[in-house]
Amino acid sequence: MTLAKIDDARRRARLGVRHLLSTRAAAVEDVVDAVVGLHATDPATVVLSACARLERPSVAEVEAAFYDRHTLVRLLCMRRTMFAVTAATAPVVQAAAGAAVAARERQKLLAFLAEGVGWDADRLAEVEKATLEALRLRGEATAVDLGRDVPDLLEQVVVAAGKPYETRQNVSSRIVRVLAAEGWMRRGRPVGSWLSSQFRWEPATPWPELDSAEARAELARRWLASYGPGTEADLKWWTGWNLGHTRKALAAAGAVEVELSTGPGHALPDDLDPVEDPEPWAALLPALDPTPMGWQARDWYLPDRHRPRLFDTSGNVGPTVWWNGAVVGGWAQRADGGLVWELLDDVGADAEAAIAREAERLASWLGGVRVVPRFRTPLEKELAR
């Protein structure tokens, strides 16, 4: 049987349409569903990624979805990374990826506490029960607040003993992290602005338990609908699954094999026809945006020659400039909040004008607020000087 061929240009057209970069959405929930989830390791990324895809960029609208409507939540899930997903999608993501991460985090926590303070599982359970009760009584609390109510959370462990960066760490942060990963508490409003990474915690009920294999199949289907076609290796990397789970999920999702410029890939069976080219579009996407981080193999939209300046040594992408589905440069903010960018390819006058308009749009809604990426990349640091 002859495989359907989907070339790089067709993939870039899909990317622009499906990731809401050639057209924008009215609601932040639609943005999040379009890309399955927004990277949330850096709190600023969530807002910047959402607003890049909203018809009317608004920090207040993003915050309302999290803290008023509760239609968006943050989960520790794929690749042990924090994502923001819709509340409707959260049970699938938790069962497909988050639950396994939470189980590993609990194992590591028990080993950490046994070595550091001599606690066993029963002792940890007592402290966790007291912590959740304290949170219930407060309604919301920071980790510091909980430490005041549950002194055991202030027990300290020496981390990296004997090394130049040896430090002492309260056990509270790791205990709270595991309780959150299991769904017993959730992140509420941050302390400070939308750039803050210190969150208040709120009581929660774990998400409904779904069959993990069925959830992985559903997550694979959603990834293919948003990011497909892609390779087996792409999905394995994006989810953090092992190869067996990846292959079974693709099969259960009904994925069919297609021919990409790099070799075999997968797509949904009803998604083999070409996508009409969108109108020319430009975008300035933030560090860790889900689009550049959506695939392991990126040559078809991000030339290898650009990687050393756009990625840090751990593989985190910095702020990127896009033109018609390809990364053509990077951007940053100076100390005074001014936007600067550099094009790494010759894209022509029309593209440069479109990129300048996007930069003006971004600067307008930022209103002078300066965002420094948590993981800084060579080009971003060069431009920010």
Give the end-to-end CA distance of the chain in Å, rounded to a whole number.
56
- Determine the pLDDT at residue 306: 96
Using alpha carbons, select from 37, 177, 182, 38 the residue that is nearest to residue 99: 182
Using alpha carbons, select from 378, 256, 245, 236 the residue that is nearest to residue 307: 378
Amino acid present at 93: V
Quote the DSSP letter at residue 117. T
Using alpha carbons, select from 275, 295, 131 the residue that is nearest to residue 227: 295
Percent of the chain with pLDDT over 90: 95
Cα Rg, the chain, nearest whole Å: 22
Confidence of residue 54 (pLDDT cuts 50, 70, 90): very high
Per-residue pLDDT for 320 more than 70?
yes
- Determine the pLDDT at residue 166: 75
Amino acid present at 247: R
Burial pattern 332-357, b for ≥16 Cβ within 10 A else e, equals bbeeeeebebeebeebeeebbebbee
User: Hey, where are the domains in the chain?
Assistant: 1-103+211-385, 104-203
At 364-381, the pLDDT tens digits run 999 999 999 999 999 999
The reported pTM is 0.95
At 12-26, the pLDDT tens digits run 999 999 999 999 999
At 240-262, the pLDDT tens digits run 999 999 999 999 999 999 999 98
- Determine the pLDDT at residue 237: 98
Using alpha carbons, select from 65, 84, 59 the residue that is nearest to residue 74: 84
| Residues 239, 285, 186: CA angle, nearest 5 degrees | 50
The answer to whether the CB of 277 falls within 8 A of the CB of 13 is yes
Per-residue pLDDT for 1 more than 70?
no
**Domain 104-203: top CATH class:** mainly alpha
Q: Where are the beta strands (DSSP E) in 227-325?
A: 256-260, 263-267, 282-285, 320-323
Query: Where does residue 236 fall: left (phi above 0), alpha (psi -120 to 50 degrees), or beta otherwise?
Result: alpha
At 274-296, the pLDDT tens digits run 999 999 999 999 999 999 999 99
C-alpha distances out from residue 253 to 268, 284, 315, Å: 8, 33, 29
Mean pLDDT, the chain, rounded, equals 96
Query: Where does residue 160 fall: left (phi above 0), alpha (psi -120 to 50 degrees), or beta otherwise?
Result: left
